[in-house]
Amino acid sequence: MNRRRFLISITGIVAASPLALRQPLATTLPLETVVAGLTMAQWQTIELVQEHLFPAERNHLHNTPGAKDIHAATYLQSVLNEPRHDPADRDFLRKGLIQLQSITKKESGQTFEQLSHSQRDAVLRKLEQAPDGRHWISMLLEYIMEALLTDPVYGGNPHGIGWQWLQHQAGFPRPPRISG
């Protein structure tokens, strides 16, 4: 087993384990490491997009959780690793990212990471108009909603932070912690 394959298999296990899901994106992994079909560098961009779509608000009017607070990126990794998950989604997610960076480059000559908040918004609106772009953003938003409001055993919604914000009453009995 070469080092790269070893890393892939390690991260596969890490992403599926409930303990790891409670951590933010594991930035200590090498950027070229592939997790759930995307490199860690690509995951960092996904994390930026998620935070743009679902920003934390900490001001005198609003105190609401953002994508990082609800572990949206690691939650999405675990979703892509579900046995019954459609493997085509990984490719769809990757192609959408490529399209996002290509629009960014064409518009500004920069990368998405280098853009200001308003520039990022403009690029995402541009992507929304492109073929499959709306579907791609919708998919990210839908999994953000899952990370916000599914039971914390799945790795999102830590300590019920999403339920508390939206005053949602969870049912009982709650699902047990998942094993493996």
Partner 1 sequence: MDHDFDVCIIGSGAGAGPVAYTLAKAGYSVVILEKGKWLTEKDYFKDERSCCLRNSYTPDQRDEPHVVEQEDDDGQWHSQNTYRSGWNFWNGNVVGGSSNFMSGFFHRLKPVDFKLRSSFGVIEKANVVDWPISYDEMEPYYTRVEHIVGVSGKVVKHPYAEPRSTTDFPYPPTAEHPVAKMIDKACGELGYHAIPTPRAILPHNDLNRNGCSYSGYCGAYGCATGAKGSSRAALLDQAVATGRCQIRAQSMVTKINSNAKGKITAVEYIDHQNKTQHVNGRIYVLACQAIETTRLLLNSASAQHEQGLANTNGQVGKNLLFAGGGAGSGRLVYAAFNNKQADALHESGTFVNRALQDWYVINDPDFGAPHKGGTVDFVHLHPNPVVRASRQISGANGLLWGSDLKRKLESHFIDGRYLKIEAFCDWVPNDNCHVSLDKTTRDKWNNPVARVKVGMHERNLQVGWYLASKGAEVLKQMGAENVVSFASAYPPTNLIAGGCRFGTDPATSVLDPDCRSHELENLFVTDGSFMPTGGSVPYTWTIYANAFRVADKILAQLGSKNI
Please report whether residue 3 would count as binding partner 1 according to CB under 8 A: no
Q: How far is the CB of 87 from partner 1 (least distance, A)?
A: 10
- Among the listed residues 105, 106, 174, 177, the single contact to partner 1 using CB under 8 A: 174
Q: Which residue has the tokens 């990368």?
A: 111
- Among the listed residues 1, 3, 159, 176, the single contact to partner 1 using CB under 8 A: 176
Please report whether residue 172 would count as binding partner 1 according to CB under 8 A: yes
SS (H, E, C) the chain: CCHHHHHHHHHHHHHHCHHHHCCCCCCCCCCCCEECCEEHHHHHHHHHHHHHHCCCEECCCCEECCCCCCCHHHHHHHHHCCCCCCCHHHHHHHHHHHHHHHHHHHHHCCCHHHCCHHHHHHHHHHHHHCCCHHHHHHHHHHHHHHHHHCCHHHCCCHHHHHHHHCCCCCCCCCCCCCCC
Please report whether residue 52 would count as binding partner 1 according to CB under 8 A: yes
Q: How far is the CB of 134 from partner 1 (least distance, A)?
A: 6
- Rank residues 32 and 128 by Cβ distance to partner 1 and give the closer one: 128
Q: How far is the CB of 116 from partner 1 (least distance, A)?
A: 14
CA 143 to chain centre: 7
* Window 135 to 154, contacts with partner 1 (CB under 8 A): 137-138, 141-142, 145-146, 148-151, 154
Chain residues that interact with partner 1, rule: CB under 8 A: 52-55, 57, 62, 64, 82, 84, 86, 121, 124-125, 128, 134, 137-138, 141-142, 145-146, 148-151, 154, 162-163, 166-176
